[in-house]
């Protein structure tokens, strides 16, 4: 049984939720997000809250109930407050520079890595060794952060590479003579 699906999603001031068939649209100051619900669940808006109810008692329907509610909650928070991930770079000569919709990375390779930032995502570099990724869609912010981290993931001996700011690298002991 879903423990998440039975609770409503509160809609803050400045956010509008509209239903059009199986499509739920959430609009706020940071943009608009849409989701297509499955045939197993139904969403409705009453008294400034979004309720998700299950239409049948199958195992798949119960799973989609909580998933749909959590996705709607993330959408409401995204268009009102937004999501942000911070990446830190460790290594001699490693630096990042945001230029419009491109992110230039110097990662110790023989060439610079240029990353095209997708629409709806904003990338800033307040310090040359720190990258801030922000946007309304939680999944896309996390995906962009993972793609940038994948260029040079942190290695366990010296900790060099790109890591999340809240990530802890388990360090290994090097060779002994």
> What is the pLDDT tens value at each position of the chain, 177 positions in all?
568 888 999 999 999 999 998 999 999 999 999 999 999 999 999 998 999 999 998 999 999 999 999 999 999 999 999 999 999 999 999 999 999 899 999 999 999 999 999 999 999 999 999 999 999 999 999 999 999 999 999 999 999 999 999 999 999 998 887
Instruction: Report pLDDT for 162.
Output: 96
Q: What pTM value is reported for the model?
A: 0.89
Core vs surface per residue 12-29: b (16+ CB within 10 A) or e: eeebebeeeeeebebbbe
How much is the pLDDT for 104? Answer: 96
Architecture of domain 83-164: Alpha-Beta Complex (3.90)
9-80 and 83-164 agree in CATH topology: yes
CA atoms within 13 Å, Cβ hemisphere of 66: 8
Q: What residues does each domain of the chain span? A: 9-80, 83-164
Which CATH superfamily is 9-80 part of? Answer: Ribosomal protein L6 (3.90.930.12)
């Amino acid at each position: 049984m879903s423990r998440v699906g039975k609770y409503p999603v509160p809609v803050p001031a400045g956010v509008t939720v509209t239903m059009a068939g199986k499509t739920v649209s959430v609009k706020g100051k940071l943009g608009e997000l849409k989701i297509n619900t499955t045939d197993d669940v139904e969403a409705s808006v009453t008294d400034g809250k979004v309720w998700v109810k299950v239409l049948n008692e199958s195992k798949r329907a119960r799973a989609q109930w909580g998933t749909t509610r959590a996705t709607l909650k993330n959408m409401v928070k995204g268009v009102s407050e937004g999501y942000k991930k911070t990446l830190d770079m460790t290594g001699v000569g490693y630096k990042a520079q945001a230029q419009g919709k491109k992110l230039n990375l110097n990662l110790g390779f023989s060439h610079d890595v240029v990353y095209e930032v997708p629409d709806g995502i904003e990338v800033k570099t307040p310090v040359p060794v720190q990258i801030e990724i922000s946007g309304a869609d939680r999944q896309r912010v996390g995906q962009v952060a993972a793609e940038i981290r994948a260029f040079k993931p942190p290695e366990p001996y010296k900790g060099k590479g790109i890591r999340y700011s809240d990530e802890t690298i388990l360090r290994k002991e090097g060779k002994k003579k």
